[in-house]
Amino acid sequence: MTAADGTVPTSMRREGDYLVIDWSDGTIARLSWKMLRDACPCAGCREERDKPADPFRILKPQELVPLAPVAMPKVGRYAYKIVWSDGHDAGIFTLEHLRELSRRTTGELS
Ligand SMILES: [Zn+2]
């Protein structure tokens, strides 16, 4: 199970508002859950993101509380699914996608 550049996560853990991934090349990525939810690759979320923002939209009750992940099961050999506290679980994050998100946070690498 590797991303295209040959790296694998050697450990993944939840630290408060972040998913912390240790990659096999020695980098440590801290991805906020918000970032992950905003990057949810499922069709429903992509559609939602493509819509123009409605300034008069009323927030749903579950949008008023910060979303939290409740589980992150492995899907097949190359992906993880994030199950959110609002019940949303359609997003499958491939290792490649997680790697790309990790690269985007390079400035925040610890
Ligand atoms: Zn989604």
Classify 97 as helix, strand or coil.
helix
Burial class (CB in 10 A: 0-12, 13-18, 19+), 2: middle
1 belongs to a structural domain: no
Domain that holds residue 21: 9-49+67-108
Residues within 5 Å of ion ligand 1 by Cβ? 40, 42, 45, 90-91
pLDDT in tens, 80-97: 999 999 999 999 999 999
The predicted pLDDT at position 74 comes to 95
Decide if pLDDT at 110 tops 70. no
Ligand 1 center to 94 CA (angstroms): 14
61 belongs to a structural domain: no
Structural domains in the chain (count)? 1
pLDDT in tens, 17-67: 999 999 999 999 999 999 999 999 999 999 988 988 888 888 777 677 778
Q: Helices marked H in the chain — which ranges? A: 33-38, 43-50, 61-64, 95-104
**pTM for the full predicted model:** 0.83
